[in-house]
Amino acid sequence: MKLAHFSDIHVTRFPLSQGFALKRLAAVASFTGMGRGRDFAGSDERIAKLLSDVDELGVDHALCTGDLTGVSGDEELTRCAQLFGHRLREPSRFTVIPGNHDRYVSSQAGAFEKHFGALCEGGRFPFVKRLGPGVTLVAIDVCRPTSLVDSSGLVGKAQLDALAQILTDRSLSTQFVVLALHYGLLRSDGSRDKRSHGMRDDLALMALVDRADVTVDVVLHGHMHRPYSVRTARRTVFNAGSGTDLHVACGYNVYTVDAERFTLRCERRAWSRVTQRYEAAPESPLNLQVRTREPD
């Protein structure tokens, strides 16, 4: 089966145009001073083209690992939902989970689910979804509103316990299991993310993912806008990077999964400034073939 994976598409409006909040005031600095406004200018159009590209490829399923908005503004959420259009009514083909920018301010609790609830099981995390014959997705939400200088995530004990239950269930052991979340387990060089940018309980999650009695074939995430692949002690991880950030080589991944042989082939598609389309990126280091475990 073919699975498209994109992330951090960020429909972005001027932060204070989305209603006042101290956190949004701080976001103005990155919007203007650090070039975020420029890097995501026109992201609406790129999102529309990315979604069309995914449709044209005829993938079996498409997964978005969060950060659909800039500051979880109503206008941003509404616009992004509008870009998804009919796909919002197709949970068998699309899954979307929130990123930290979609949980930016506590006053917007529930706003993400209002628009995208149909594609994330109503926001009841962790959830399990069959993507196709032999392929199962397990998704967690590690995002929450944070203080001004903090963009960390948290799995939390309750979700960690629930995830352990799911991943050790014998019914998953014959499935090719995809674990999806917004934050990364590791940076591209294999080191831990910073305390203010990673998950506070990253080590606990990684220890779970690497347990011998747990079934996980691949971990998919976003959050860091430059795409990469990395390995934990036992598992392969792909960060799709940003689908639309012009500051990096933005694009998305398409995985061909062989659920009987436990192999996955990643093919990168990148935004072309010349053709203004997403195209195959044959030079990308993301184009990898991995065997996730030996078949019985």
Point out which residues bind Fe ion (CB under 5 A). 8, 67
d(CA 4, CA 61): 6
CB of 223 to Fe ion, least distance (A): 6
d(CA 169, CA 293): 17
Report which of 285, 278, 294 is spatially closest to residue 59, judged by C-alpha positions: 278
148 vs 280, which CB is nearer to Fe ion?
148
d(CA 108, CA 234): 37
d(CA 161, CA 155): 10
CB of 239 to Fe ion, least distance (A): 11
Cα angle vertex 11, ends 185, 107, to 5°?
A: 80
27 vs 138, which CB is nearer to Fe ion?
27
Return the structure tokens found at 216: 């996980």
8 vs 217, which CB is nearer to Fe ion?
8
CB of 54 to Fe ion, least distance (A): 19
69 vs 292, which CB is nearer to Fe ion?
69
CB of 11 to Fe ion, least distance (A): 12
d(CA 256, CA 117): 27
